[in-house]
Structure 1
Amino acid sequence: MFLLSSYNVITFSFIFFFVSSFSLSPPAHFLIQFYESLPKKSQHLLPWKLSNSTSSSSSHCQWFGVSCYTNKSFQFQVKALNFSGLILSGVLNNSITYLCLHKGLVSLDLSGNNFSGGIPEQLGNNCGQLKTLLLNDNNLNGTIPIKLFQSNKRLAKLDLGYNSLSGDIPAEVSFCIKLEYIGFHNNYFTGQVPSGVFSLPNLKFCYLNTNNLTGSLPDFPQSCEISDLWIHENSFSGSLPNTLSRCYNLTAFVASHNKFGGVIPLEMFSDLFQLEILYLDSNSLEGEIPESLWGLRSLKELVLSENKLNGTISESIANCSQLNTLVLSANNLSGWIPHSIGELEHLKSLLLFDNMINGSLPSELGNCSSLTELRLQRNFIGGVIPKEIFKLEKLEVLYMFNNKLEGVIPQNIGTMSSLVELALYNNSLSGEIPSEISHLKKLEFLSLAHNRLTGEVPLELGKYSSPGLVKLDLTGNLLTGLIPFEICNGNNLSVLTLGHNRFNGSFPRQIAACSSLKRVILSNNLLQGTIPADMNHNSGISFLEVQDNLLEGTIPSVFGDWRNLTMLDLSRNKLSGSLPSELGKLQNLQILRLSSNRLKGSIPTELTYCRSIIKLDLSKNNLSGKIPLEIITSLTKLQSLLLEQNRLTGPIPDTFSSLHSLNELQLGNNMLQGSIPCSLTELHHFSTILNLSYNGLSGQIPKCVGNLDKLQILDISSNNFSGELPTELSNMISLIFVNISFNHLTGKIPSAWMKLAASYPGSFIGNQELCLLGTEVKNCEQAKVSMKRSQIIPGVVIGVVISVTLLCTVIYALVVRVLTQKHNLDESLLPECQPKSEFLPKDLNFEEIVLATEGWNEKYVIGRGKHGTVYKIQSKNSGKHWAVKKVNLSDRNFIIEMRTLSMVRHRNVVRMTGYCIKDGYENAYSTRVTEKCDVYSYGVILLELVYRKMAVDPSFEEGLDIVSWTRKSLEESSDCLCLFDEEISHWDENEQQKALSLLDLALECTEKLPSMRPSMREVVGFLIKMNDRNE
């Protein structure tokens, strides 16, 4: 036996490998080195069958991805390497060195891999013969090395797209004068495009799209050879260069999603006769579409949507005879759709939605026989729908909703054999739904909602559709009869909304049998009879609304097996019996509304298993018994609990501390007893309504109620509460309404409630010993006496209008009378009168006036005029009396009167000293109402929604409203979310982003300068786009 020691084996192996490697040709040796530089997992991905015994000088030419020269001078030298799409990894800088050792290498394709790191400088130093370099679709980062362009003079095609490269595009790219193809797309490049890029004499294809490039585009040279220029999804600005017309060979120009502005240059398209694709959408282009554009006879795709273009669509559009895609949506285009559009026989997609197009639909549209998509929604198109449109047999999508269409739906609709989606909702269509609509075999989406359609729905609707209807919306019509039985044919129906019609018959069993259904709305109809107790178990439906019908009988326990229900609304019917305990199986249920029925019995404790519920509404029934403690302790996500107008008894459970999300509690009109539990006041999010009215609650109002500093509405009226109101109630700074009437309360009202008492005096009556003036009871009576006496003292005219002093008039009359009798009367004996130029006290604002008049109480009226009522008030600080006239600023006659009287100079008339305006920043300096006023108001509403605060909230600093508070808060903190209502912090990231977008919109709407605010149409467009992006 021949044995080798381990030392000898290792030595032998090393010598064998050394000899074998040394015997390989240089090109093969370089390739082996590249192979070995790759990570082990990548070596397995490269399908090379290497053999150490290979000694042929040409064997490497048969390896995968390797191409060699065939001519004798470069025989067996590597010419091109193509390793694309192999998912190779590793740092490119480590591997590229060996590839550049091939001196004859002219093409290197490493695209579609996972190489990382930066672009190696060796590509410029050692690969100087390269004509094609493809590094796209990798994970490369960093900047482009300048040497790449300084040495590679022969480079004709360079593709670096779909990486993570950054920095500026080097100006040295212009050194590579043979470049025909540049691919820098889908990276993070910044800065401006070097002027020399477009001047490259051989450049034909240039892809700079999807980066962060800025600035304006450089001018194009006289000898421009570019045929494809893609620069979309950047931040280019300025005007479009008219020198683009020098690129005579241009076939595609895509500049979407940038910041280009101004008008489209008239001469821009004068010589672009080869242009086939033009995308300028999502910019800020203005003005009319230039007539020269309609002369591009080779144009196939034109997209100008989401700009600010106006004017009309020219009849010259017929010149673009090759057009197959026309998208002009989301602009300000007006006028009629041109009749000549019917000459575009190749047109497949016509999108004109979100404009101001009016007039009627041209029947010539029916000649566009290639149309597959027609979207005209959200315009002002009127008249009847031409029957010619329904001859378009290739049409798949027809959207004409939100227009002013009228008349009937043509009966030949059944000939549209390819129609998949039909949306005609929000028009004024009338008549019956033609039975021919049932013959649309490919129909999946049908919405005819909010029209004036009458009659019965074709009973065969959905029967012949394959794969079947997916969404059916007939809401808001005058439809009668039965709900069709075939609507779920194919079991693909997902959304069924038939609310606000006059459908009759019983609860449709076919709904329960349709397992594909997710959302069902049958509300506001005339459905009657009982809900079948033996319905199918539907595990698909998550949203069921059947409120406002005539349903009777009990609620079937089978609903407990509809396990995906998140919303169940059976309110405002005639349902009776007890609540089925099986509802407790609905662990996904979030909203349960059973109000306004005839339900009786106790509230089942099994509802505590509905752990996801956020709103429980059992109000306006005949429920009895106690409020289950388990509901209060277990339903920790509950936000609204509505149990009012029942027959509930016992005390209010003192276990609310676990309901951290509760913000509405309605327990009024029951037979509850006891006191207000302090556990309610531990809820820091309790912000909407606490209604305990019309019960038998008694005792003193607990001091802890004052802890509800976010509560907006408090109603404890018609109970048996007694004692004084705690001073801690002044801490309830968010209250906008309070009702404590008809109790046995005594003492004075908290000072912070005086404004509420002045605004809603009826909310405090029925408490005989309660002081409505904020003082002790004895002082209340004294105040009433002094108020009567003070009515004989004339006041001074103030307010928004001319003020007339009665006191000075009386004094003047007395003086004149005395002077008539005695001309030498000493003036020092005259009583002192208020100066005619008295300044308005700083403390006298609108709210103070309302308080001083106890909510414009009639007892303070001292006069009535043509333009308003005059009240007498007393300044809280100075004690002086003033006459205030409450007027309507919109009265034009009063404006004239005020202008005239403000110039009057008479010894009996005191000058106007000031005015007070309730809120209304927008109209503080002008009484002219414009659209921009509405926009401002809408912005205020948006702010109220996202912050859940009032326009003038008690939590704001003195002198701030919600607009000024928002801007001040944003200056002090960059975290917008922390300012929002706390509930928004629990939303998912997508919903939070929507809230931030609404905040941006609100700030634009509330700009001080009306010219800086968007139009209401732009606001609507923004909301629609925001919704579309998140669907």
Structure 2
Amino acid sequence: MDNMKIQFLLVIIFFLFVVPASSSARDIAILLRVKSGHLGDPNGLLANWNESAPNAPCSWTGISCDRKTGQVVAIEFASFGISGRFPADFCRISTLQKLNLGDNSFGDSISPDSWSLCSHLHFLNISLNFFVGQLPEFIAQFDNLTVLDVNSNNFSGEIPASLVRLPKLQQLNIASNLLNGSIPEFLTNLTELTRLEIGSNPYKPSPLPSSIGRLSKLQVLFFRYANLVGEIPDSIRDLKSIQNFDAAMNNLTGRIPESLGELKTIQQIELFGNRFSGELPDIFSGLGSLFMFDVSENNLTGKIPESLARLHLISLNLNDNQLEGKIPESLALNPNLCQFKIFNNRFSGTLPQNLGFSDLDEFDVSGNNLEGSLPPNLCSRKKLQTLNLFNNKFNGPIPESYGECNSLAHVRIHNNQFSSELPAGFWGLARYTFLELRNNNFQGSIPASISTARGLTQLLISGNRFSGELPAEICKLEEVVIMNISKNQLSGELPSCITRLKTLQNLDLSENRITGQIPKSVSSWNDLTELNLANNQLTGEIPGELGTLPVLTYLDLAGNLLSGKIPSELSKLKLNKFNVSNNRLEGKVPLWLDDNYFVSGLRGNPGLCSLDLKPLPECPKPKSVSLYVVCILSAFAFILVGSLVCVLLKASKLLPIRSKRKSVWRITAFQRVGFTERDVLAALTDDNLIGAGGSGRVFRVKLKNGQMVAVKKLWAAKRVRESEEVFRSEVETLGRVRHGNIVKLLYTGIGDDFRILVYEYMENGSLGDVLHGEKIGFLLDWPRRFAIAVGAAQGLAYLHHDCVPAIVHRDVKSNNILLDEDFRPKVADFGLAKAMQQDTEGSDQAMSHVAGSYGYIAPEYAYTLKINEKSDVYSFGVVLLELIIGKRPNDSSFGENKDIVKWVLEGAPSSKKGEGIGHITDGSSILDLNQLVDQRMNPSSSNYTEIKNVFDVALLCTSALPINRPSMRRVVELLKDSSFPRPK
């Protein structure tokens, strides 16, 4: 009996000490072998992996052990910056349950054999890495896996059918990859799912699975950017646990189903950016948990249901639809309403007067047909920060309570019918950064209390009936950049302190009744680019000190009572606009203004004269000289006559040509220029040729005044399809474009033989030259490439969204993005650009000839011959891929009939490991962002997150369906948003 006890104790001791010890030693060996063989640890986070460390390996960074047994149960490397291939050997630790490799630099494809080693895991996260190829198949042993997260990699191909072998799977996230198959119905067999996130992939057009209701435990459904088509199936009524339903930015059609009203647990419904139509169903009575509802950018019509007003909403977003009807009064009874945004619809009627008894911080009803007065209690909780009411028909006064809304920072209420005086406190709210009251009927004076709005950067109050003097307290707005108080009834003199506003860039006080003289002490206006004091009652002389302003390009002093001469000091300015017409100026027009470009800005001054500018009066000729001088000149006349005759004979051969040149050329100058067409034409020689294209040749020309310009000489007029009138109309449109990321058109000339376009010269040529040229003088690193991407996007966004009418470039490519001496990008070559007419039905335009360049043309052009802004977005997406990959969009390495977009999405053969990118189609995959990026820019691990984000934006821009592409304004936001597009 004693022997049996002893044996039993020995067995216990063996299991308590010997077995764990041997198991621990084996785990240590596995961990160290993987670290030394596969892992790159640039941050040294695994430096304490030492087998002699106390309590190894449980004390090591990233390792977690069971407290009772001491066995390794979890390896967590999230955001460690570690690189290497998939460390499958970790899974040889039989007790391992959790492997988290998220947000690192792991890459390459994952073989089925490596994947199968991890079949005993419960939790597997390899998200935010650079894995490529197809998602590995799941063998039957993966029956304990509850969490699978592979989002934000480069996996491609189909969603594997073997996912159905994961009976316990609760969370599946495959979003933000390159999966390009169909969305399968079998996903609904995973009935234990609580989270299903598959969005942000370039799937083939697919419907939402009809049996989606089988996922009765689902809490989060993320199908955004999934190329969904068709209608939402009624089976969604069976999603009894759903909290977040996100199917935004797809191509869903039909009506929003009433079955949504049966989702009693729903908190967020996001369906914006689809093609839903019809009325919004009255489904909200039982949705007591809903706090976000967004159906913007659809084709909805009708009224907002009364039941929506009774929700405890945090965010209501119905913007950019075609909704009509009144806003229900009961909406005001929502105590939890924080954001109220219904802009750009067709709502009518009045706002509920009880709105505001909530923690409202953003109120945006702009772009509707709303009328009547404003709710007086909109800021009752003193939390309202943004107030956007513009482009409606509101009238009456601004409620007095708004003058006590100290939380307000951003106010835009222009283009309404408000009247009477503003509450005194409304002028000087301390948190103001932006105040826009333009085009209303406001009255009264600007009070001294405006001085307390010290953070105000833009004050836009033109087009009202404000009167009285401009108070000196306005000079305390030390952060103001733009001040537009034009078209009012201000009187009195300008406060002299206004010249001390150092940050001021644009000052417009035109069309008032301001008297006195223009201030002379302007030395603090170093950033002032535009000064408009036109149509006032200013007197005295034009101060010569204005000529010292370093960046002033716009000066309008027309319609005043100014006298004296035009100061010669103004010749130092580089003015695009100079207008002193309709004053009392006198004297000879200075030589620097002796150009037809400035004539319109000089008229209406009877005392001004010129030798040759019409219709200005001709300056008096010198009085008759003395008889003595006449006699001397007569004596020399006979001596000189012979020489003069010879000169005239020689000149007569040139005069017809000169006369013809004058009569043939029709000139338009868009900037102040110091040259003529003769100066330009003389330099159009082969020695100055720097490029040629389908529409003409480009020359680099150094003018006599030292200025360097780029001159595009278009082919003979008979080879150009457009008439001269169309050409001039388009050129004038482009000549008015003013943006830092758009190349300036200085001058155009139309002749019988050819036409010329004169642009500012870009020292570093085109982006295409720098990326692909044989003689590359400078290789762009990633920070510079990223800056080029953002700048070019801003230029295109300006054309699409800020020009009226909008301008579609139609030939966006790397060769049309020019780089100045600091490598700042400027969009150029508008040979195909068109202004989109707003008064025609639809914005698409059919083309009479090919628009764009091969490799950049959007796919829909092939079968519609119609383009719009989304066509430019596609082309820009190609440029982004070009920046990342470093190859032309139609590089021969992509294979036959493949451009860069098809190559990235479908894959391309790679000859050797480390060369080429893409996935080969025989089942093994090598699409790796580490290999995909242009290695000439020496990318570092710190760049890869940003590169991955830009890559995601590029894929979004090059979506096959135009509706799935973002606007250029949204592209700018996405490029600047480092978090895009990684759904949580």
Q: Same fold (TM over 0.5)?
A: yes
Query: What does 1:485-500 correspond to in 2, within 5 Å?
Result: 485-500=472-487
| In structure 2, C-alpha distance between the alignment counterparts of 1:328 and 1:299, rounded to whole Å | 15
| Residue identity matched to 1:485 | A
Identity between Structure 1 and Structure 2 (%): 26
| Residue 61 to residue 339, structure 1, CA distance change in 2 (3 Å) | same
Amino acid of the residue matched to residue 67 of structure 1?
Answer: S
TM superposition shift of 1:82:
0.8
* Offset, 1:440: 2.6
TM-score, length-scaled by structure 2: 0.62
- Asked if the contact 2:456/2:479 (under 8 Å) is kept, the reply is yes
Aligned residue identity for 1:228: V
Label 1:183 to 1:966 Cα distance change in 2 as closer, same or farther (>3 A). Answer: closer
- Partners of 1:252 and 1:714 in 2: CA distance: 53
The 5 Å alignment of 1:451-530 reads 451-461=440-450, 463-465=451-453, 467-530=454-517
1:796-820 deviation per Cα after TM superposition (whole angstroms, max 9, x unaligned): xxxxxxxxxxxxxxxxxxxxxxxxx
Match for 2:849 among 969, 978, 985? 969
Q: Distance in 2 between matches of 1:976 and 1:208?
A: 28
The reply to whether residue 350 of structure 1 matches residue 340 of structure 2 is yes
Q: 1:99 to 1:261 in 2, by over 3 A?
A: same
Structure 1 residues 602-1001: aligned runs within 5 Å: 618-620=601-603, 645=616, 647=618, 663-664=667-668, 712=725, 731=752, 966-970=846-850
Tell me by how many angstroms 1:354 deviates. Answer: 1.3
TM alignment of 1:542-561, pairs within 5 A: 542-561=529-548
Q: Provide the C-alpha distance between the structure 1 equivalents of 2:666 and 2:91, rounded to a whole number of angstroms.
A: 70
Which position in structure 1 is the counterpart of 2:820?
Answer: none
Within 1, Cα distance between the matches of 2:375 and 2:160? Answer: 58
Q: Is the 8 A contact 2:807 2:835 kept in 1?
A: no
Residue from 387, 397, 401 that aligns with 1:408: 397
Q: Amino acid of the residue matched to residue 341 of structure 1?
A: L
Check the 8 A contact 1:260/1:284 in 2, yes or no. Answer: yes
> What CA distance in whole angstroms lies between the structure 2 residues aligned with 1:133 and 1:577?
82
State whether residues 193 and 215 of structure 2, in contact with CA within 8 Å, keep that contact through their aligned partners in structure 1: no
Give the direction of change, closer, same or farther, for the CA distance of 1:539–1:1024 in structure 2 (3 Å limit).
Answer: farther
CA offsets per residue over residues 179-214 of structure 1, 9 Å max, x none? 111111222222322212232021101112222233
Whether contact under 8 Å (1:468, 1:488) holds in the other structure is no
Distance 2:411 2:966 in 1: 19
Counterpart position of 1:82: 76
Offset of residue 977 of structure 1 = 9.6
Q: Does 1:25 align with 2:25?
A: yes
> Within 2, Cα distance between the matches of 1:221 and 1:355?
32
Distance 1:948 1:111 in 2: 45
Letter in 2 for 1:401: F
CA shift at 1:294, angstroms? 3.7
Give the equivalent residue in structure 2 for 1:170: 160
Name the SS of the counterpart of 1:62 in structure 2: coil
Conserved? CA contact 1:459–1:484, under 8 Å: yes
What amino acid is aligned across from residue 376 of structure 1 in structure 2?
V
* Structure 2 partner of 1:837: none
Deviation of 1:597 (Å): 4.2
Once the 2 structures are TM-superposed, how far is the Cα of residue 942 of structure 1 from its aligned partner? 8.7
Report SS of the residue matched to 1:268. Answer: helix
Gaps of 5+ in 2: 1-21, 622-654, 685-694, 697-715, 729-749, 756-803, 811-829, 837-842, 859-868, 878-962, 974-984
CA distances 1:499-541 after superposition (whole Å, capped 9, x unpaired): 1122222344343211222222222222232211123421222
The secondary structure found in structure 2 opposite 1:98 is helix
Cα shift at 1:363: 1.0
What letter is aligned with 1:970? V
Q: Is the 8 A contact 1:572 1:595 kept in 2?
A: yes
Residues 992 and 240 of structure 1: is their aligned pair in 2 closer, same or farther, counting only changes over 3 Å?
A: closer
**SS of 1:212 mapped into structure 2:** coil
Partner letter of residue 243 of structure 2?
Answer: T
CA distance in 2, matches of 1:940, 1:44: 49
SS in 2 for 1:100: helix
Partner of 2:216: 224
Letter of the 1:80 counterpart = A
Change (3 A) 1:554 1:132: same
**Residues 911-946 of structure 1, C-alpha deviations (whole Å, 9 max, x = no match):** xxxxxxxxxxxxxxxxxxxxxxxxxxx999999999
Alignment partner, residue 371 of structure 2: 382
Displacement, 1:257? 1.1
The DSSP-based 3-state class of the residue aligned with 1:358 is strand
Q: Which residue is 2:255 aligned to? A: 263
Kept after mapping to 2: 8 A contact 1:654/1:678: no
1:121 to 112, 115, 125: 112
The answer on whether the counterparts of 1:681 and 1:707 sit within 8 Å (CA) in structure 2 is: no
Task: Report if aligned partners of 2:870, 2:967 keep a CA contact under 8 Å in 1.
Answer: no
- Residue 150 of structure 2 aligns to which amino acid in structure 1? L
Q: Quote the residue 1:49 is aligned against.
A: 48
Q: Distance in 1 between matches of 2:200 and 2:252?
A: 15
Q: How many residues align?
A: 688
Alpha-carbon contact 1:23-1:55 (below 8 Å) kept: no
**Change beyond 3 A, Cα 1:211–1:418:** same
Letter in structure 2 aligned against 1:451: N
Q: Which amino acid aligns with 1:25?
A: A
1:406-450 deviation digits (Å, cap 9, x = unpaired): 122223322222222222211111222232323533233222111
Q: 1:653 to 1:646 in 2, by over 3 A?
A: farther
Tell me, yes or no, if structure 1 residue 189 matches structure 2 residue 186: no
Q: Which amino acid aligns with 2:155?
A: L
Kindly state the Cα deviation for residue 319 of structure 1 after the two structures are TM-superposed.
3.5
**8 Å CA contact 2:420, 2:442 repeated in 1:** yes
Are the counterparts in 1 of residues 266 and 287 from structure 2 also a CA contact under 8 Å? yes
Structure 1 residue aligned with 2:921: none
Partners of 1:412 and 1:436 within 8 A in 2: no
Are residues 1:64 and 2:61 paired? yes
Instruction: State how far apart, in whole Å, the 1-side matches of 2:141 and 2:598 are.
Output: 71
| CA deviations over 1:728-768 (Å, ceiling 9, x no partner) | x994899xxxxxxxxxxxxxxxxxxxxxxxxxxxxxxxxxx
Give 1:567's match in structure 2, choosing from 549, 554, 567. Answer: 554
Letter in 1 for 2:185: S
Q: Give the equivalent residue in structure 2 for 1:846.
A: none
User: Do the aligned residues in 2 keep the contact of 1:199 with 1:224 (CA within 8 Å)?
Assistant: no
On the 8 A contact 2:192/2:215 being kept in 1, the answer is no
Contact 1:970–1:976 (8 Å) recurs in 2? no
Question: Separation in 1 of the partners of 2:556 and 2:597?
Answer: 14
Residue ranges of structure 1 left out of the alignment (5+ in a row): 1-21, 628-641, 668-675, 687-705, 716-728, 735-937, 952-962, 979-988, 998-1020
Question: 1:108: Cα distance to partner?
Answer: 0.7
Contact 1:100/1:122 (<8 A) preserved? no
SS at match of 1:284: coil
Amino acid at match of 1:145: P
CA-atom RMSD, angstroms? 4.7
> What is the one-letter code of the residue matched to 1:63?
W
* Alignment CA distance shift 1:39-1:714 (3 Å): closer
**Residues 122/105 of structure 1: CA separation in 2 closer, same or farther (3 Å cut):** farther
Shift of the 528–108 alpha-carbon distance from structure 1 to 2, 3 Å rule, reads same
2:340 equivalent to 1:341: no
CA distance in 2, matches of 1:400, 1:599: 44
Structure 1 residues 117 and 181, CA gap change in structure 2 (3 angstroms): same
- AA paired with 2:103? G
Matching residue within 515, 525, 532 for 1:538: 525
